[in-house]
Structure 1
Amino acid sequence: MSAAVQREPVTRIAVDVTFLRMDAPPSGLAPPLAAGLAVVRLARCSVPFYRYLYDTVGRDWVWWLRRTVPDDEIAGLLARPDISIHVLYQGGEPAGFYELERRGGEAGINLSYFGLMPHAIGAGTGRALLRHAVDTAWAEKPRALTVNTCTADHPRALPNYVAAGFKVLRTIREVWPVPNRLGLRIPERLRI
């Protein structure tokens, strides 16, 4: 007889996930980063620092998946040469980050994660950081640049991606089992 499988308590949420693609670099001048802001591509990102970035940026937007991944798997991801972490600094402290994953071939580069720290939201920084991410990716001459967002993300995420030049490919409904142990605030509008 097999032992009963313990299932951890979860909150089921429904999100609409929108997949976007950009097939050519955007035209026009990039909005400049404000004075005192700088983006640094990390030569090496430690697991604790990555968790700090991911958890702080994603806390209010139900970024849960990588919170469930063990440290050794996160270390493996961060060690991959096809993944890079870029941190926005303001006055010497992190204000946001983005993660690029080079998928090669037709898949090109994926903007896997993108976001601002809570204290940096609403200052107009997001648009300039997004363009920085887009320009950094296109500097490698990929076939395409992809990203996805969902209805759990900041309400300006999808409009900002479209304004940056991404085209919507499709939107699908997904149901996510968010573990309660993560302690994330889940908006009522997403709960099933």
Structure 2
Amino acid sequence: MLPDWLRPKGASTRLAVDVTFLEVCSSRPSPVLPEGFSLSRMTGDEVVALYRFLYLTVGQDYCWWMRRSMPDAELGEILHDPAVHFMVLRDSRGEPAGFYELDLRQGGDANLAYFGLLPQAMGRGLGRVLLDHAVARAFGAGSWRLRVNTCTLDHPNALPNYRRAGFSVRHIVSETWDVPDEYVPERLKRL
């Protein structure tokens, strides 16, 4: 059963998606970040606001909506859990370039819950470095597997990038989502 915050309160758009579930069961050494970039784990009082900014900026064109409708208290509970690593990639000016959310709450069965780059950071090879960092972090924490899923609404390079990083497809599920209209990207409203 869906939580109340995931049920559309007003008008919604029904979207058919194929969700691809992937996993990797081995790591490689943690990559070196390009010069001028840093990666840090975010904690503290401002974590929810920063997360919301990154989630919206990275995902707005790809119909990332579930965390947008989640209440702050519930999102904060997830992000403040010691087994959830909210990692932010920053450029030399300290501006965010991307992020990932690594969920280690299931013991050695880790989940890369969210991952992405801001639009201005795309096309520079940063995605692969950030993804390799997430994989290394999961296995460095004792995980035996790292799972991730992507869907047909995500960036078209998402699935190929996961596969190039060593993830293999476990299964694909066709789903229908009722997405609140306020979260549906313009390109999907025209379909």
- Residue 101 of structure 1 is matched in structure 2 by 103
- Partner of 2:22, secondary structure, is strand
- Residue 167 of structure 2 is matched in structure 1 by 166
Is the Cα contact below 8 Å between 1:62 and 1:185 reproduced in 2?
no
- 1:90-143 CA-partner distances (Å, limit 9, x unpaired): 12100000001013346x110100000011111111111110111111111212
Q: Which runs of 4+ in 1 moved over 2 A?
A: 29-33, 43-46, 103-106, 181-189
Aligned-residue sequence identity (percent) comes to 47
Is the Cα contact below 8 Å between 1:97 and 1:116 reproduced in 2?
yes
- 1:28-61 CA-partner distances (Å, limit 9, x unpaired): x665422111111113352111100111111111
- Residue 3 of structure 1 is matched in structure 2 by none
- Residue 33 of structure 2 is matched in structure 1 by 33
**Counterpart check, 1:18 vs 2:45:** no
CA distance in 2, matches of 1:136, 1:82: 12
Cα–Cα, structure 1 residues 149 and 40, in superposed 2: closer, same or farther, change >3 Å?
Answer: same
CA distance in 1, matches of 2:30, 2:189: 37
CA distance in 1, matches of 2:9, 2:111: 33
Q: Give structure 1 stretches of 5+ with no counterpart.
A: 1-5
TM-score normalized with structure 2 length: 0.87
Question: What amino acid is aligned across from residue 126 of structure 1 in structure 2?
Answer: G
Matches within 5 A, 1:63-102: 63-91=64-92, 92-102=94-104
- Residue 63 of structure 2 is matched in structure 1 by 62
Q: How many residues are treated as equivalent by the alignment?
A: 182
Question: What amino acid is aligned across from residue 10 of structure 1 in structure 2?
Answer: S
- Residue 3 of structure 2 is matched in structure 1 by none
RMSD: 2.0
How far has the Cα of 1:188 moved from its partner?
6.1
How far has the Cα of 1:86 moved from its partner?
0.2
Is the Cα contact below 8 Å between 2:84 and 2:105 reproduced in 1?
no
Question: What amino acid is aligned across from residue 23 of structure 2 in structure 1?
Answer: R
- Partner of 1:49, secondary structure, is helix
Larger radius of gyration: 1
- Partner of 1:52, secondary structure, is helix
Cα–Cα, structure 1 residues 186 and 74, in superposed 2: closer, same or farther, change >3 Å?
Answer: farther
Q: Give structure 2 stretches of 5+ with no counterpart.
A: 1-7
Is the Cα contact below 8 Å between 1:14 and 1:175 reproduced in 2?
yes
How far has the Cα of 1:184 moved from its partner?
3.2
TM-score normalized with structure 1 length: 0.87
Question: What amino acid is aligned across from residue 47 of structure 1 in structure 2?
Answer: V
Question: What amino acid is aligned across from residue 172 of structure 2 in structure 1?
Answer: T
CA distance in 1, matches of 2:100, 2:138: 11
CA distance in 1, matches of 2:134, 2:80: 20
Question: What amino acid is aligned across from residue 14 of structure 2 in structure 1?
Answer: R
